[in-house]
Chain A
Amino acid sequence: MIEDIFPERCTGCNDCVTVCPDHVLDPGAAGAPPVIARVAQCQTCFLCELYCAHDAIYVAVEGAGTGTTLHHPTPLIGRLRHDYGWDGSTDDPLRAFWQLGPLLREGLEISAARHTRRQATALSEAATGQEGDEALSSRALGTTPKDPAA
Chain B
Amino acid sequence: MKEMDADVLVVGGGMAAGWAAISAAKTGASVIVVDKGFMGTSGVTAPAGPNHWWVPPDPAQREAAIRRRLETAFGLADSKWMERIIDITWRSIPELDPYYPFSGDGKGGLFRSGLRGPEYVRALRRYATDLGVHVLDHHPALELLGRQDGSVGGAAGYDRLGGVSWHARAGAVVLATGGCGFRSGLIGSYSNTGDGYLMGVEAGAELSGMEFCISYSISPAWLSTRTLPYTGARYYDAAGAEIDVPAGVSRMREHLLVLADAFRAGPVYADLREAPKALPDVVRQIQPATVAAFERRGLDMFRDRFEVKLFGEGTIRGTGGLRIVDTGCATSVRGLFAAGDAATREHIAGATSGGGAQNAAWALSSGVLAGQAAAALARHEGKRAADEGLAPLGQAGLRPLAGMRPVDQKALQQTAGEEILDLDKALRRRATGLEASGRRLEGAWQEVSGHLVGKSLDAVAARETAAMVATARWCNEAALARTESRGMHVREDFPHISPLQAHRQMVGGLDRAWIRPDVAPQRQTKGHPG
Contact = CB atoms under 8 A, between A and B. Distances in A.
Given A21-B37, A43-B190, A70-B298, A147 B160 contact: no
Interface string B487-513: 000000000000000000000000000
A3 to B, nearest CB: 10
B221 A64 contact: yes
A32 interface: no
Interface stretch (B272-280, B385-393, B467-475): B272-280
Contacts of B345: none
Contact of B282 (A47, A79, A99, A143): A99
Interface in B123-166: 137-138, 160-161
Interface string A117-135: 0110000000000000000
Given A20-B38, A94-B116, A112 B289 contact: no
A45 B297 contact: no
Interface residues of A, number: 66
Given A104-B227, A149-B48, A111 B286 contact: no
Q: Chain B interface: which size bin? A: 35 or more
A103 B249 contact: no
Chain B interface mostly? loop
Contacts of B111: 94, 97-98
A74 B116 CA distance: 27
Contacts of A76: 292, 295-296
Interface string A26-51: 00000000000000010111110011
A107 B114 contact: no
A83 B288 contact: yes
Interface in B279-338: 279, 281-289, 291-299, 304-307, 309
Contacts of A83: 284-285, 288, 291-292
Given A47-B118, A149-B356, A22 B190 contact: yes
A19 B41 contact: yes
Interface of B: 36-38, 40-43, 46-51, 53, 101-106, 111, 113-114, 116, 118-119, 137-138, 160-161, 185, 187-191, 220-223, 226-227, 229-234, 244-250, 269, 274-276, 278-279, 281-289, 291-299, 304-307, 309, 355-360
Interface of A: 17-23, 41, 43-47, 50-51, 59-70, 76, 79-80, 83-84, 92-101, 103-108, 110-112, 114-115, 118-119, 139, 141-150
